[in-house]
Amino acid sequence: MDPMDEIRQTFFLECEDLLQALMEGLAAIEGGDEDPETVNAIFRAVHSIKGGAGAFSLDELVKFAHTFETVLDEVRADRMELTPALMSVFFRSADQLSDLVEAASVGDSVDAERMNAIMLELDALIDSDGSDAGEVEFEAIPLDFSMDFGDVEDDLPAPGGDSWTISFKPHATIFERGNDPVLLLRALAELGETEVTCNTDALPDLADIDTAQSCLSWDITLKGETVSEDDIREIFEFVEGDCDLTISFGAAADALPEIDLPPLGAPDEGEETGWELATPSQDADEPAAIPDLPELQEPAAAEAAPAETEKSSGASPARAESSRAGPTATVRVELDRVDRLINLIGELVINQSMLAQAVSNSGVPQDSPLMDGLDEFKRLTRAIQEGVMAIRAQPVKPLFQRMSRIVREAAAATGKSVRLVTEGEGTEVDKTVIERLSDPLTHMIRNAVDHGLEQTADRAAAGKSEEGTVHLTASHRSGRVIIEIADDGAGINRTRVREIAVEKGLIDPDAALSEAEIDNLLFMPGFSTAKNVSNLSGRGVGMDVVKKAIQSLGGRVTLSSTPGKGTTFTISLPLTLAILDGMLVRVADQTKVVPLTDVVETLKLNPSQVHGLSNADRGIMVRGEFVPLVDVACELGYRPPLDKLSHHVVVLTETEGGSRTAFIVDQILDQRQVVIKGLEENYHSVPGIAAATILGNGEIALILDVAALATGRNRLSDVIRAA
């Protein structure tokens, strides 16, 4: 890869971290954090984004980051107070910055109107503050920079035959700052032929010499037809203020008027403008000195003096070491490498189980050292597997932080006052799961604000605080990740939900539904509670899509609701997408895997319990509950429907929301962990099949997609009608 492309990638990765730090900092401040280092950290995050963006000529991003940073700097310097209104601007600016970064990463542009609106707000803050207005313009102006010092004849080379005459008397400070006259003389000699005369008049006797002092001065004649004054100035750039310097051209130094910069004489004046090496890249905006805009120099210079006196107070980043610990040491690894490793471990797991099977087939006694070693091997393989999986695991924190933005936007769109409380942000989940959880979670959060929470007036009338709360919680529970979205709104209006379901023909008008069953109607395709589809949670996306998205991650979503108290959605996810605890079953001479999380129990089929005649509406009574029966072999096309069921086994499954399906299989073989091999990337998606795996004996086994196989048989309405 082109090194710059690689660095560009690094930049966008780093932006993610910086944006996260920015959001964290803002949230901390909102939560009452008054540590000045928090503001500093926020400032640095924006500043670093600006710095990197400049390197890649992401002009829009630079411009916005700069404006944002300028306002933050005012806060940092205690010149502006952090009001709730200002925090609101900061949050929106952070969102805008995040959008700009994302747009830049894909070469897109952002909504100009929104961008301008927030820019105006920020600009207004700067203008009202006044003091820094000059500096903003100072940097925002695109620059055509050519090492120009504003002198009249500076770009003229010395006319033929003439030479530059340079008089140079360094002060002691030149050494203190790590510069050295020898190096400057060397640089001059590189420009052209020099004739150097050293003036040693001021040199004291060895006994009296102060080695830190500068006692020599030089007169240099520089020949060089192509040398411009700029070339010479550039060499002395860092030492202006640390020396007396005159540059003139002509045969004799006094024959022509000197071309000189005014403030070179006195070492203690602030010669700010000279001490800088601008290193412009050709096309980037250059936040450097612009000498040919004199009106801008004035505020800048005026500012220098007061800033000087208050430099020990607030105007600077905290120099003291923060109590905050530095970032934890990390290694960045390409995801590809981790995935290759995961694949290899997968092979290892398969190999281990093949080995175990071979050993077991060979009739080795259970208590032999070989079996002990094999057990240890199995344990280690598992440990390695978990270790590698942990590499892919990431905290849900960034995901949750994005949700706070969703809440802000949703609250603004609905005119509600909403607080998002997050817990368990450190909970780690597979990276892919996190990525694919973003959309469904966004939708659920919007739903919680839009539908879950009441309007402010209604809340007040119900004696609740006007500010609604949405809790977003992540935790680990029995080998799965649980994510809860809980609002403290009015709860599900079950009467209304039922009416809608009837209107839409989803249920019979006189169906007897439990509360849980009514709640689960929300997940049915074609259901939408919104009276008018608002532009917020509407968008034609229903909870059924959310459910599908979560299912595709091997997850389940359930909900519970208490009238007047609120609604809680619970998402349960596997820790990883790469390993699955499965039940191995035999179906028409094929081995299939049923995900263990879907299995409730297994039963011996008793034909007397089977109700219904045709394959299509057959069901079974399990403890008084009617459950549809699905003949797996038939569904997958291995054999025609069986007329008569006899010595079969039933695997009772339960998918999200508690709907159950009984799968007919021929035999149950085993329970074990299998390595998931995706079909989609290797073959193509097959209805009813979630993925494949390789078993210990080398056989390929398909993993059943329980939810898909149940679909068509397991619609809630079917259950209800049958009941």
Least distance in angstroms from the C-beta of 251 to another protein: 19
User: Please, which residues have CB within 8 angstroms of residue 60's CB and are 6 or more apart in sequence?
Assistant: 100, 104, 109, 110, 115
Nearest distance from residue 404's CB to another protein, in Å? 23
Residues making up the chain, counted from first to last: 723
- For the bound state, the minimum distance from the C-beta of residue 74 to another protein, rounded and expressed in Å, comes to 13
Order of strands, sheet of 217-222, starting from the edge strand that comes earlier in the sequence:
194-199, 217-222, 164-170, 243-249
Nearest distance in Å: CB 308, another protein? 6
Compute the least distance from the CB of residue 171 to another protein, in Å. 12
Cβ closer to another protein: 48 or 520? 48
| DSSP for residue 205 | P
In the bound state with another protein, the residue whose beta carbon lies nearer, of 186 and 721, is 186
**The residue to which tokens 């933050």 are assigned:** 72
Question: In the complex with another protein, which residue's Cβ is closer, 288 or 603?
Answer: 288
Instruction: Name the amino acid, one letter, at 189.
Output: A
Which residue lies nearer to another protein by CB, 189 or 293? 189
Least separation in angstroms between CB 551 and another protein:
38
Residue showing tokens 């191995």: 584
How far is Cα 466 from Cα 453, in angstroms, rounded to an integer? 10
- Are the C-beta atoms of residues 420 and 409 closer than 8 Å to each other? no
Q: Of 597, 533, 526, 537, whose CA–CA distance to 410 is shortest?
A: 537
CA-wise closest residue to 140 among 47, 42, 65: 65
The nearer residue to another protein, 297 or 551, going by C-beta atoms, is 297
In angstroms, give the least distance from the CB of 297 to another protein. 9
Q: How far is the CB of 602 from another protein (least distance, A)?
A: 53
Looking at the Cβ atoms of 61 and 575, the one nearer to another protein is 61
Q: 253 is written with which tokens?
A: 């130094």
Nearest to another protein of 261, 441 (CB atom): 261
CA distance 143 to 285: 6
Do 588 and 665 form a contact (C-beta atoms < 8 A)? Answer: no
Smallest gap from residue 285 Cβ to another protein (A): 9
**For residues 89 and 187, which CB has a smaller minimum distance to another protein in the complex?**
187
Cβ 504 to another protein shortest distance, Å: 53
- What is the smallest separation between the CB atom of 46 and another protein, expressed in angstroms? 10
Residue 588 falls in which region: left (phi positive, over 0), alpha (psi -120 to 50) or beta:
left
Choice between 12 and 527, CB closer to another protein: 12
For residues 37 and 51, the answer to whether their CB atoms sit within 8 Å is: no
- CB 19, min distance to another protein, A: 13
Question: Which tokens belong to 483?
Answer: 């994510």
Report which residue type is found at 407.
V
Q: For 322, which DSSP code?
A: P
Q: Provide the b/e sequence for 322-352 (b: ≥16 CB within 10 Å).
A: eeeeeeeeeeeeeeeeebebbeebbebbbeb
For 130, 633, 707, the CA distances from 641, given in Å and listed in that order, are 82, 9, 20
Closest CB to another protein among 203 and 412? 203
CB 37 within 8 A of CB 57: no
Q: How far is Cα 243 from Cα 259, in angstroms, rounded to an integer?
A: 17
The residue ranges of DSSP E strands in 517-598, in sequence order, are: 556-562, 566-574, 579-587, 590-595
Q: Which is nearer to another protein, 152 or 206 (CB)?
A: 206
Please tell me whether residue 586 adopts helix, strand or coil conformation.
strand
Which residues lie closer than 8 Å to 197 by C-beta, 6 or more apart? 218, 219, 220
- Residue carrying the six token digits 């368990």: 424
Cβ contacts of 10 within 8 Å, gap of 6 or more = 332
Q: Least distance to another protein from the beta carbon of 152, Å? A: 23
Please, which residue, 150 or 658, has the CB nearer to another protein? 150
* C-alpha distances out from residue 593 to 584, 672, 693, Å: 5, 9, 8
Q: Would you say 10 or 368 has its CB closer to another protein?
A: 10
User: Of the two residues 296 and 649, which places its CB atom closer to another protein in the complex?
Assistant: 296
- Asked if 675 contacts 350 with a C-beta cutoff of 8 angstroms, the reply is yes
The answer to whether the CB of 445 falls within 8 A of the CB of 406 is: yes
Strand partners for 723: none
- Closest approach, Cβ 446 to another protein, in A, equals 33
Least distance CB 207 / another protein (angstroms): 7
Q: Residue 456 and residue 437: Cα distance in Å, rounded?
A: 30
Residue number with CB closer to another protein (191 or 573):
191
For residues 229 and 154, is the Cβ–Cβ distance under 8 A?
Answer: yes
Which lies closer to another protein via its Cβ, residue 197 or residue 368?
197
CB of 288 to another protein, least distance (A): 5
Among 81, 92, 136, residue whose Cα is nearest residue 118:
92
C-alpha 723/C-alpha 714 separation (Å) is 13
